[in-house]
Amino acid sequence: MEASEIIVRPLLTEKSYSGIENKTYTFVVNKNANKIQIAKAVEEMFKVEVAKVNTVVVKGRTKSQNTRQGRTVGKTSDYKKAIVTLTEKSKPIAFFESLS
């Protein structure tokens, strides 16, 4: 897989914003990617050094909606989240620095 296929998008939440000052960044990644592939993809795309990668599979939640035809129930998609920590001597990622 290529780096652009592994990293889907950055995940911008309140909790992920708090990690930016510690060089900890959160991404939504491909479900089939492992930690080594994620680390190499981040290093290749952003030209930084990765210290560690933590991953978690986030389960989709069920949603229900009342319509004229009755109640419909659906489910949001599952996705894999990667929390990437950079080394101390690595430069910060410019995309995230512009947000804070």
What pLDDT, in 10s, does the model give residues 30-79? 999 999 999 999 999 999 999 999 999 999 999 998 888 888 889 999 99
Residue 100: per-residue pLDDT? 59
Across residues 3-15, what is the average pLDDT? Answer: 94
Check if the beta carbon of residue 65 is closer than 8 Å to that of residue 72.
yes
DSSP result, the chain: --HHHHEEEE---HHHHHTGGGTEEEEEE-TT--HHHHHHHHHHHH---EEEEEEEEEPPPEEEEEETTEEEEEEPPPEEEEEEEE-TTSPPPHHHHTT-
- Phi/psi of residue 33, nearest 5 degrees: -80, 140
Domain limits, the chain: 3-88
pLDDT at 86 over 80: yes
3-88 in CATH: which number?
3.30.70.330
In this prediction, residue 98 has a pLDDT band, given cuts at 50, 70 and 90, of confident
How confident is the model at residue 54, as a pLDDT?
A: 98
What global pTM score does this model have? Answer: 0.87
Per the CB < 8 A criterion, the answer to whether 42 and 7 are in contact is: yes
